[in-house]
Structure 1
Amino acid sequence: MKLTQDQLDQFETEGWLLLPELFTPEEVDLLRREAVAIYDEQRPEVWREKDGAPRTAFAAHKYNEAFRLLGRHPRMIRPVEQVFGESVYLHQYKINAKSAFTGAVWQWHQDYGTWKRDDGMPEPRAMNISIFLDEVMPINGPLMLVPRSQTAGDLEASHDLETTSYPLWTLDEKTVTRLVEQGGIVAPTGKPGSMLMFHGNLVHGSAGNITPYPRKIVYLTLNACSNHIRTPTRPEFIAHQDFAPIQCVDDDALAKLARSGQKAAA
């Protein structure tokens, strides 16, 4: 799996890139079923909205075989290695729920701001890559991105501990307005199995989901090994401290598991 020069140029300029339907329906069906089962578990890695609906599940690669394979899948790992020019390790792994009718907002923010302040990450040489497990539509709370905002660098932020159940370093309205006037807003949508990758400093957020259509997305934060975190303050299941380079599995590993009929829980 290699990005073309045009794709690399888009990522460099716009700060994001969407690869439609990179994973097959067979692979996505397996991951979707496993995600629903994980949300039903009562464990510290599963965080919930204030009304009790699932918000996100951390570190699924440590207790679920399907998500372990996804976290080492070459279709996810190789493009990021290509962008950074070196091996990467897994800094964070989460499955965001955005449940039907109850999925809450994610405020406007930059991911690197959190990684720097909470985890001691030296540089923005990490990025989020995400796999759509459900169809992401304009109506069910898609991720909204501010193109080219990554060029603004690391912006001043405040720690929001009140809006949702998940604490976040958020941007003020004046800053977001200024950046949107320069770059606009895009909301990448696509079928299940599509993969979105975006720069660690790209400003983004999402509205709540008041539709009957859930919007589950897997997020891997991949960090260049040379850029490993120095002063983590969050639990290890949120900010991982195994800095070994990811060793990819075979490209058909997920498909084989789906066909095996075996229980995916590790």
Structure 2
Amino acid sequence: MDTGIEDRYPTRVTGTATPLDRTEPTVWGTEGDGPADAATLAAHEAKGFHVVDGLLSPGEVQTYWQELVRLSGDESLRADERVITEKTSGEVRSVFEVHRISELISELVRDPRVLDRARQILGSEVYIHQSRVNYMPGFTGAGFYWHSDFETWHAEDGMPGPRSVSCSIALTDNYPFNGGLMIMPGSQRTFVPCVGETPEDYYRSSLQDQQIGVPSRHDITTMAAEHGIDQFTGAAGSALWFDSNIMHGSGNNITPFPRSNIFLVFNSVENALVEPFAASKPRPTFIAGRDFTPVTR
């Protein structure tokens, strides 16, 4: 689709996809712009992510956990398009646009511990591109295949560049064995295009099982050989901040221990969405927000 602006990251191509070097920085702000110190920002610039231990207190974790339980058990939400269920078990997998459904999570988006760090990393005012809660129940929780979020957000939502950052706040303990997020440090510096045309209304199936918009096994192998693989583990209440273009994924959870989190995506107001670069129309706004009003306290 013609967006009227240059496509710096062409994807959903035919034939062979050639990885591209990223031109933008990963961190746009400085130490004086927010709560992260210079060492943390330098690590985030180099690796594409950092962890904040104890972002939420144990009491807050319990409060938000009860909110997740309430949302997943709300029968009135079951028919809502914003609720995604597991393909096989029918259990709730994700609830999207959760900051508009839950007053508690709306307040969390504006919490200085969260908002100020997002502004600092992106060096500007920010708005919510996407919010959701993810449930990975014990025994049946399905993982997410290797991918870059930015590839999808660029192709299907019209995000011009990777000037966005995600914050995943753990509400359960993340062990190495219960489907914890795997991440390739430094991979955010390379954009990996994907092969294949975006199907019509692809979001309806991709949110359960993504087939288009995933890198080739060759590219994953090459990236893993160059960058290695880290895993996000930590106690409930810890937060993983990671760049939109970093390569990441998670395995299935066959343990009895659930893995649930609050997932918030902040985009710079200077990186507002245009028309999709590789889809016939934008995804619904509950998946990719098109209200670019800056988040304020």
- TM-score for the superposition, normalised by structure 2: 0.80
Cα distance, 1:231 vs structure 2:
2.1
- 2:270 equivalent in structure 1: 226
1:3 to 19, 22, 36: 36
- 1:40 equivalent in structure 2: 73
Cα distance, 1:86 vs structure 2:
0.6
- 1:165 equivalent in structure 2: 208
2:138 to 94, 100, 106: 100
- 2:50 equivalent in structure 1: 17
Distance in 1 between the 2:182 and 2:105 partners? 25
Asked whether the 8 Å contact 1:57–1:94 carries over to 2, the reply is: yes
- 2:120 equivalent in structure 1: 82
Over the residues paired in the alignment, what is the CA RMSD in angstroms? Answer: 1.7
- Judged with a 3 Å threshold, the aligned counterparts in structure 2 of structure 1 residues 59 and 166 are, in CA distance, closer, same or farther, namely farther
Cα distance, 1:156 vs structure 2:
2.7
- 1:135 equivalent in structure 2: 173
Cα distance, 1:70 vs structure 2:
1.1
Aligned residue type for 2:285: E
Distance in 2 between the 1:150 and 1:164 partners? 22
Distance in 1 between the 2:216 and 2:129 partners? 26
Asked whether the 8 Å contact 1:146–1:183 carries over to 2, the reply is: yes
For residues 1-266 of structure 1, the aligned pairs below 5 Å read 2-41=35-74, 42=78, 43-50=80-87, 51-158=89-196, 165-167=208-210, 169-231=213-275, 233-248=282-297
Distance in 2 between the 1:193 and 1:60 partners? 18
Aligned residue type for 1:201: N
Secondary structure, counterpart of 1:124 in structure 2? coil
Distance in 1 between the 2:35 and 2:235 partners? 21
Distance in 1 between the 2:259 and 2:208 partners? 18
Cα distance, 1:157 vs structure 2:
4.8
Distance in 2 between the 1:91 and 1:49 partners? 23
Distance in 1 between the 2:120 and 2:138 partners? 36
Distance in 1 between the 2:218 and 2:190 partners? 14
Q: In terms of mean alpha carbon deviation, does 204-213 or 146-155 score higher?
A: 146-155
Distance in 2 between the 1:180 and 1:68 partners? 36
Deviations 1:55-86 (A, max 9, x none): 11101111211111112111111112112211
Secondary structure, counterpart of 1:55 in structure 2? strand
Give unpaired runs (5+ residues) of structure 1: 249-266
Distance in 2 between the 1:182 and 1:165 partners? 29
Asked whether the 8 Å contact 2:122–2:165 carries over to 1, the reply is: no
Aligned residue type for 2:208: S
Deviations 1:29-79 (A, max 9, x none): 111111111112312211001120111110111121111111211111111
Secondary structure, counterpart of 2:213 in structure 1? strand
Asked whether the 8 Å contact 1:22–1:193 carries over to 2, the reply is: yes
Deviations 1:169-198 (A, max 9, x none): 211111011011011000011111101011
Cα distance, 1:22 vs structure 2:
1.0
Give unpaired runs (5+ residues) of structure 2: 1-33, 277-281
Cα distance, 1:163 vs structure 2:
8.0
Q: In terms of mean alpha carbon deviation, does 215-224 or 153-162 score higher?
A: 153-162
Distance in 2 between the 1:176 and 1:45 partners? 30
Secondary structure, counterpart of 2:231 in structure 1? coil
